[in-house]
């Protein structure tokens, strides 16, 4: 096993981790052979996967830039994964040098790696919590130190809500989070959508059956409902790679598998 300085001692690096596989898809270096092997298997089953993930990440960057340009300097990134390739605080600080970020994930592996990577950065915090538990998130002293909830915050729910099944009422969960934020805050959101081509649906189903976290894809109107009561920034809710496209998503620009994305402003 490769010894690496960012690996917390409590982490089992002999088992693949979804968070480190995600880092591998993004071209990051925070992964191990065991992660790469499993990721390669997933890619064989679903060749577009790395492109989709990179398109999602490119949307995240464009959205962070957009809200930073609107004067936001505080970010609450829930379902953040391992903040490695183009993480939120680095992107935001290109536009607002004093940006603070609270990273939240429920996965202990992602949290442990995040804490190790961000140690020494006193303008970031890492919380282990579930997005369905706003009291745990907003009651955490680390979040309170990082975010001033009397000023606008950008809430990032990027590629995470499709892990919340309908039985857990994802729309109500988002509402409970948004209700804690002041007017002028933003919701940055991307979400998987069902592909219309039957030949890709089959490979999707097969892949999801093999993962411990089943995915709930949602239609455009279902995703739009997460923005209820908000003003959607231009161009509205669109395919992920189309949101203020700048060419960085490459040949995925028109790809239906990339899901939908949008940025809403709280009134
Ligand atoms: C696909 S990754 C997205 C990472 C990053 N937001 C991005 O788009 O590049 C989804 C992350 O959401 C986390 N997650 C899933 N369900 C969650 C929940 N209920 N609460 C908090 N985090 C969750 C997973 O552990 C994982 O790290």
Q: Residue 34's domain is classified under what CATH number? A: 3.40.50.150
Residue 38: domain span: 18-266
Q: How many whole angstroms from 107 Cα to the centroid of ligand 1? A: 8
Average pLDDT over every residue of 101-129: 93
For residues 152 and 110, the model is more confident at 152
**137 CB within 6 A, ligand 1:** no
On whether residue 212 sits in a domain, the answer given is yes
Please choose from 79, 101, 126, 172 the residue to mutate so as to test ligand 1's pocket, defined by most ligand atoms within 8 A of CB.
Answer: 79
pLDDT recorded at residue 257:
64
**159 CB within 6 A, ligand 1:** yes
Strand 238-239 to 260-266 pairing = antiparallel
**19 CB within 6 A, ligand 1:** yes
| 214-233 pLDDT tens trace | 788 899 999 999 999 999 99
d(C-alpha 182, C-alpha 227), whole Å: 15
How far are the Cα atoms of 16, 35, 146, 180, 245 from residue 22, in angstroms, in the given order? Answer: 11, 9, 26, 30, 22
The structural domain count of the chain equals 1
On whether residue 12 sits in a domain, the answer given is no
On whether residue 3 sits in a domain, the answer given is no
On whether residue 5 sits in a domain, the answer given is no
On whether residue 7 sits in a domain, the answer given is no
Instruction: Please give the model's pTM, rounded to 2 decimal places.
Output: 0.93
**110 CB within 6 A, ligand 1:** yes
**23 CB within 6 A, ligand 1:** no
Contact 53, 26 (CB under 8 A): yes
pLDDT at 97 over 60: yes
Please choose from 106, 134, 143, 259 the residue to mutate so as to test ligand 1's pocket, defined by most ligand atoms within 8 A of CB.
Answer: 106
Backbone phi, psi, residue 242, to 5° = -90, -15
**57 CB within 6 A, ligand 1:** yes
**259 CB within 6 A, ligand 1:** no
| 58-78 pLDDT tens trace | 999 999 999 999 999 999 999
| Paired tokens of 101 | 């970020």
Name the E strands within 36-159: 74-78, 100-105, 124-128, 154-158
CA 36 to chain centre: 20
Average pLDDT over every residue of 180-201: 85
pLDDT recorded at residue 184:
97
On whether residue 69 sits in a domain, the answer given is yes
Average pLDDT over every residue of 18-34: 90
Q: State the pLDDT confidence band at 18, using cuts at 50, 70 and 90.
A: confident
**Residues sharing a CB contact under 8 Å with residue 129, sequence separation 6 or more, in sequence order:** 104, 106, 136, 137, 140
**107 CB within 6 A, ligand 1:** yes
**128 CB within 6 A, ligand 1:** no
């Amino acid at each position: 096993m490769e010894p690496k300085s960012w690996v917390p001692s409590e982490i089992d690096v002999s088992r693949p981790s979804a968070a480190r596989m995600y880092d591998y898809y993004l071209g990051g270096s925070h992964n191990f052979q065991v992660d790469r092997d499993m990721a390669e298997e997933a890619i064989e089953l679903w060749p577009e996967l790395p492109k989709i993930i990179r398109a999602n990440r490119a949307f995240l960057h464009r959205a962070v830039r957009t809200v930073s340009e609107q004067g936001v300097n505080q970010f609450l990134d829930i379902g953040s994964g391992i903040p490695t390739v183009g993480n939120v605080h680095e992107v935001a600080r290109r536009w607002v040098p004093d940006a603070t970020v609270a990273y939240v994930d429920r996965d202990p592996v992602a949290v442990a790696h995040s804490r190790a990577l961000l140690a020494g950065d006193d303008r970031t915090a890492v919380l282990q919590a579930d997005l369905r538990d706003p009291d745990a998130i907003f009651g955490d002293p680390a979040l309170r130190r990082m975010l001033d909830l009397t000023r606008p915050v950008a809430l990032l729910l990027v590629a995470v809500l499709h892990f919340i099944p309908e039985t857990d009422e994802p729309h109500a969960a988002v509402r409970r989070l948004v209700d804690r934020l002041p007017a002028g805050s933003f919701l940055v959101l991307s979400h998987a959508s069902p592909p219309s081509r039957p030949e890709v649906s089959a490979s999707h189903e097969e892949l999801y059956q093999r993962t411990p976290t089943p995915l709930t894809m949602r239609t455009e109107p279902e995703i739009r409902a997460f923005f209820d009561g908000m003003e959607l920034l231009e161009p509205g809710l669109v395919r992920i790679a189309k949101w203020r496209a700048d060419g960085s998503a490459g040949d995925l620009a028109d790809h239906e598998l990339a899901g939908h994305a949008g940025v809403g402003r709280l009134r």
